[in-house]
Amino acid sequence: MTATLYLTRNGLLEPLGQSQVMSYLRGLAAEHAITLVTFEKPEDMADSAAMARARADCAAHGIDWRPRRFRRRPRLLASAWSLVAMGTTALRLARSGQLGLIHARSYLPAGVAWAVWRLTGTAFIFDMRALWPEELITAGRLKRGSPLHRLLERLERLCLRDATAIVSLTEAAVDHLERRYPEELAGKRIRVIPTCADLDRFTPPPEPPTERVYGCVGTVLSGWFKTDWLAAFFRAVARREPDARFEVVTRDDPETVRARLDPDAALNLSIFAAPPERVHLDVRRQTASAMFYAGGEISELGRSPTRMAEILGCGIPVIANDGVGDVARIIRRYRVGVIARDGSDAAMDAAAAELEQLRKEPDLARRCRQAAEEVFSLDRGTEAYRQLYAEILGGQAPRGATAPESAEQPRAHG
């Protein structure tokens, strides 16, 4: 069994690590010997019980988990340290002759995989997840045209050009990249695999909730989340339903979130964190869930919110904004939510009124679940990765290719 190295700067103990890393690897590990390198937050590593559960989960599936400690500061040096740690592991495995593939989740791991490819010829997947440099610009953490931005653009170009395969979350991001890098992506093997959810866990509640709870799940302090829109939506609902409750399930600092959303303590608002294995219970309790990103920016073309897959899986409608990956298209196609026009009180009043009418439709929960199954199924996502691994490790040519692939030969857009 050829070894596959999976590199990610996310932690396995984070909700994202469970939903978007481990969920896939459990299915892939039956056919592949996987070594997993993650970077765990110190506060997560301090939870010995959670660490033990994660180790047992990996061991049960034959995954060689090698957790590293995530360092936040100093920012550039911390990133450099993580690259060195990933690179050391990857190069050692590649030179052992046992490594057939590196699966790099996001840009910095892809940079490591590219360097190892240059040194050893080991194939790698650039699993982009999103347009990270653009996300940093949107969040105000990176200046367009700065030396660091130019460096990340160079990294993006090299990884797109030389990866054995590319995975994107959205078709919109692929369209953007093909316009920007037509030569690098000509004939390239590309797969679009949206954010997926474990729909065996994120299911509708056995009985509809008896009270109305309007929620939001995940980080809201990322810099690319519109907390002012979320606050306006909560206020609009409160004007229509004075008895409504509001919940934000997040690992963000509760006091900072409250200061952004409800500085006057006018809402019946709860802000709390939940362990990954219990998030679905909190989602099921909600009447509807909101997500507002910096729509219209280039960064948003590649966004496929995990929370959307999980919310729809629980049969719950979504309130969102336009210009965010394929979010609006999915909502309109399946009629599973409301698109807010803007963040004004008038627009949010209109969104709240539209949501109230939508909730009267008796098959709404069924449509939400159907959308989740057809778009965000974990089984479908895992099968897409399984086929991609088989093509690369089995030496299969991509659709449209006429010769075996090498790092220099064009690959078909699959």
Q: What is the pLDDT of residues 247-282, one digit of tens each?
A: 999 999 999 999 999 999 999 999 999 988 899 999
Looking at residues 355-366, what average pLDDT do you find?
A: 97
Query: Out of 74-78, 137-141, 179-183, 224-228, which region has the weakest mean confidence (pLDDT)?
Result: 74-78
- Residue 379 and residue 369: Cα distance in Å, rounded? 15
Q: Across 185-291, where does the E strand assignment appear? A: 190-192, 213-217, 245-249, 269-272, 288-290
The pLDDT value recorded for residue 205 is 94
Instruction: Report how far apart, in Å, the C-alpha atoms of 116 and of each of 80, 83, 279 are.
Output: 16, 12, 37
Measured CA to CA in angstroms, residue 103 lies from 3, 4, 156, 256, 307 at distances of 11, 7, 16, 36, 23
Please tell me the distance from the alpha carbon of residue 103 to that of residue 107, in angstroms, as a whole number.
Answer: 11
In degrees rounded to 5, what are phi and psi of residue 6? Answer: -105, 120
Contact indicator for 243, 282 with CB cutoff of 8 Å: no
- The residue among 401 and 200 whose pLDDT is bigger is 200
Share of the chain above pLDDT 90, in %: 78
**Alpha-carbon gap, residue 6 to 385, rounded angstroms:** 12
**Residue 124 corresponds to which amino acid?**
F
Q: What is the pLDDT of residues 152-187, one digit of tens each?
A: 999 999 999 999 999 999 988 999 999 999 999 999
Residue 397 is predicted with a pLDDT of 41
CA 197 and chain centroid, separation? 10
Least confident of 33-47, 107-121, 395-409: 395-409
69-73, 183-187, 400-404: least confidently modelled range = 400-404
> What's the pLDDT score for residue 356?
97
pLDDT reported for residue 272: 97
Q: Which amino acid is at 189?
A: R
Cα 8 to Cα 138: distance, rounded to the nearest angstrom: 22
How large a percentage of the chain has pLDDT more than 70?
Answer: 95
pLDDT at residue 115 above 90? yes
**What is the structure's pLDDT at 413?**
44
The least confident of 227-241, 272-286, 344-358 is 272-286
> What is the second-level CATH architecture of the domain 3-196+378-393?
3-Layer(aba) Sandwich (3.40)
Better pLDDT: 222 or 342: 342
> Would you state the pLDDT for residue 395?
61
CA dist 378 and 26 (Å) reads: 11
**E strand map for 197-353:** 213-217, 245-249, 269-272, 288-290, 318-321, 337-340
Tell which residue, 81, 91, 67, has the closest CA to residue 17. Answer: 67
Task: Report how far residue 307's alpha carbon sits from residue 305's, in angstroms, rounded to the nearest whole number.
Answer: 5
401 pLDDT higher than 70 = no
Q: Is the pLDDT of residue 74 over 80?
A: no
Element (H, E) at 232: helix 227-240
Q: One-letter amino acid identity for 69? A: R
* Average confidence (pLDDT) over 319-340: 94
Write down the H helix ranges in 1-70: 15-17, 23-28, 42-45, 48-60
Q: What is the pLDDT of residues 180-200, one digit of tens each?
A: 999 999 999 999 999 888 899
Whether the per-residue pLDDT at 411 is higher than 50: the answer is no
pLDDT value at position 339? 97
Mean pLDDT of 311-335: 94
Mean pLDDT estimate for the chain:
91
> Which CATH number does the domain 213-375 belong to among 1.10.1060.10, 1.10.8.50, 3.40.50.2000, 3.40.50.2020?
3.40.50.2000
Question: Which residue is it, tokens 């965000």?
Answer: 376
Q: Assess whether pLDDT exceeds 90 at residue 345.
A: yes
- Model confidence at 400: pLDDT above 70: no
- Identical fold for domains 3-196+378-393 and 213-375, yes or no, is yes
> What are the domain boundaries of the chain?
3-196+378-393, 213-375
Read off φ and ψ for residue 94, nearest 5 degrees.
-65, -40
pLDDT at residue number 172: 85
pLDDT at 87 over 70: yes
Eight-class DSSP state of 143 = -
Between strands 245-249 and 213-217, the pairing is parallel
Cα 354 to chain centroid distance, Å, stands at 28
- Strands 99-105, 64-69: pairing is unpaired
Question: What would the pLDDT profile of 124-146 be if each residue is shown by its tens digit?
Answer: 999 998 899 998 998 888 999 99
At residue 276, the pLDDT reads: 83
| Least trusted range by pLDDT, from 223-227, 232-236, 355-359 | 223-227
Q: What is the spatial distance between Cα 141 and Cα 224, in angstroms, rounded to a whole number?
A: 10
- pLDDT reported for residue 223: 80
Q: Could you tell me where the beta strands, DSSP code E, fall in 128-240?
A: 165-168, 190-192, 213-217
At which residue do the structure tokens 């347009």 appear? 131
Q: Record the tokens describing residue 345, joined without a space.
A: 């009180």
Which of these, 4, 221, 43, 281, lies nearest to 13 by C-alpha position? 43
pLDDT, tens digit, for every residue of 302-311? 989 889 999 9
Helix 327-334 × helix 364-375 angle, to 10°: 130
> Tokens standing for 113?
């995989």
Query: Integer distance in angstroms from the first to the last C-alpha of the chain?
Result: 26
Question: Is it the case that residue 20 has pLDDT exceeding 60?
Answer: yes
Residue 232 has pLDDT above 70, yes or no: yes
Rounded to whole angstroms, the Cα distance separating 32 from 166 reads 19
Q: In degrees, to the nearest 5, what angle opens at C-alpha 301 toward C-alphas 297 and 307?
A: 105
pTM > 0.85 = no
Q: Given this model, what pLDDT does residue 11 score?
A: 94
What's the longest Cα–Cα distance across the chain?
66
